[in-house]
Amino acid sequence: MKVIKIIDGTTVDGPGFRTSIYFAGCHHHCPGCHNPSTWDMANGEDMSIEELTKRVVLNNMPVTFSGGDPLYQCSDLLQLAKAVKERGINIWCYTGFTYDEIIANPAYNKLLDYMDVIVDGPYIESLRDTSLLFRGSKNQRLIDVRKSTSDNITEWTSDF
């Protein structure tokens, strides 16, 4: 997988101390993006699923997948998410895709089996709001994946 950076013990990408993995690649190209250096799939360092899993497990804290957009490395992300979730670790994922787009895409949809929270939607600079918890613009949502898949409706979460 192409990884831009890993931050151990951050508190900005979800509740509590987390390991945040920033993946390379994003075609959304949102104006005002705070990580445009992550857009190019060729950027970053090659890391194996095993290396990433080991790092997350050693840190012994929840993990957040961000970027870029992690979904552009979907098949590898699926394997990583499965390995991490099998160890009982909470997973958040930031994506520029909406929850409805994820559900509609058979490859992306499989990720929902392993994600706890999806922060969905592109960053929209005109909707920027620094008072929002764990997101940058008002259109982005914190989706509780467990509740949403079991209830078959999209559920926002505020349980932190």
Looking at the predicted structure, is the pLDDT value of residue 160 above 60? no
Q: Pick the range with the lowest mean pLDDT from 23-27, 30-34, 69-73, 84-88.
A: 30-34
Alpha carbon 160 to its chain centroid, in Å, reads 17
Mean pLDDT computed over 92-102: 97
CB 10 within 8 Å of CB 66: no
> Model confidence over 36-93: pLDDT tens digits?
999 999 999 999 999 999 999 999 999 999 999 999 999 999 999 999 999 999 999 9
Tokens of 21: 């993995």
Interacting residues of 98 by C-beta distance below 8 A, sequence separation 6+: 120, 121
What is the CATH code of the structural domain delimited by 2-151? 3.20.20.70
Dist CA 111 CA 94 (whole Å): 12
The per-residue pLDDT of the chain, averaged, comes to 93
pLDDT for 10 equals 96
pLDDT for 31 equals 94
* Extents of the domains making up the chain: 2-151
Percentage of residues in the chain having pLDDT higher than 90: 89
Looking at the predicted structure, is the pLDDT value of residue 156 above 70? no
Would you put residue 41 in left (φ > 0), alpha (ψ -120 to 50) or beta? alpha
Looking at the predicted structure, is the pLDDT value of residue 154 above 90? no
Tokens of 42: 């060729």
CB 93 within 8 Å of CB 72: no
Dist CA 93 CA 41 (whole Å): 18
pLDDT for 6 equals 98
Q: Is 37 helix (H, G, I), strand (E, B) or coil?
A: helix
Mean pLDDT computed over 88-116: 96
Mean pLDDT computed over 99-110: 95
